[in-house]
């Protein structure tokens, strides 16, 4: 269970640390019928209910639920494409949080300038692609890549602001590429 908490520390926000996978599933099953889930997945209703129980190997309660299995797969593979895929399926995207070291915010202005530059770069790619009133597949991919970079840089900056941790901004020269993601 300790590895789950370490993994959650790495991938979850501080507010989500207290919730275990079975607790989340219990809340989800209040909105979505366990019977419907069982039917959709072709599993027994008792298995679905076990997912919402805390694991206790001694008594046989609980079961390795899909969230725990995803966590294990992520830990074993250390491949963030798994998270990106899940986030895309949910209509979002994955941004890894920067490390937390709590230094003084001396590089705040250059970091904000970097976000503005990233946005300008995105607009330049869009303008270039749209110049002929059509956007090719390659141009679309370039726009997506710049957009993902802008989201990453901005999310990294916002997390630094929220945590009062500006070491990632201070430790890496701002060269217009991106804020560090560790």
Using pLDDT thresholds of 50, 70 and 90, give the confidence band for residue 175. very low
Using pLDDT thresholds of 50, 70 and 90, give the confidence band for residue 73. very high
Alpha-carbon 2 to chain mean position: 21
Phi, psi of 8 (to 5 degrees): -65, -40
Measure CA of the first residue to CA of the last residue in the chain; give whole Å. 24
Which has more pLDDT, 53 or 95?
Answer: 53
Which stretches of 32-136 are DSSP H helices? Answer: 34-41, 45-51, 66-77, 81-89, 108-130
The Cα 125–Cα 140 span in angstroms is 9
Per the rule left: phi > 0, alpha: psi between -120 and 50, beta: everything else, 176 is left
pLDDT at 49: 92
pLDDT at 107: 59
pLDDT of 165 higher than 50: yes
pLDDT tens for each residue of 89-135: 998 878 776 555 544 455 567 778 888 888 899 999 999 999 999 99
pLDDT at 1: 32
The DSSP bridge partners found for residue 61 are 56
Q: Domain extents for the chain?
A: 2-89, 108-171
Q: What is the rounded average pLDDT for all residues in the chain?
A: 77
pLDDT at 100: 52
pLDDT of 10 higher than 50: no
Helix (H) or strand (E) segment spanning residue 6: helix 2-11
Using pLDDT thresholds of 50, 70 and 90, give the confidence band for residue 181. very low
């Amino acid at each position: 269970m300790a590895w789950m908490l370490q993994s959650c520390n790495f991938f979850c926000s501080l507010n989500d640390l207290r919730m275990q996978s079975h607790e989340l599933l219990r809340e989800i099953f209040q909105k979505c019928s366990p019977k419907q889930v069982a039917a959709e997945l072709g599993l027994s209703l008792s298995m679905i209910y076990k997912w919402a129980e805390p694991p206790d190997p001694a008594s046989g309660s609980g079961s390795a639920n899909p969230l725990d299995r995803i966590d294990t797969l992520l830990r074993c593979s250390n491949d963030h494409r798994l998270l990106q895929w899940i986030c895309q399926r949910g209509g979002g995207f994955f941004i890894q949080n920067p490390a937390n070291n709590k230094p003084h915010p001396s590089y705040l202005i250059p970091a904000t300038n970097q976000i503005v530059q990233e946005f300008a770069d995105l607009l330049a790619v869009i303008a270039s692609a749209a110049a002929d009133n059509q956007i090719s597949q390659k141009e679309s991919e370039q726009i997506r890549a710049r957009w993902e970079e802008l989201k990453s840089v901005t999310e990294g900056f916002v997390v630094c602001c929220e945590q009062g941790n500006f070491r990632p901004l201070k430790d890496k020269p701002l060269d217009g590429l991106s804020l560090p993601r560790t």
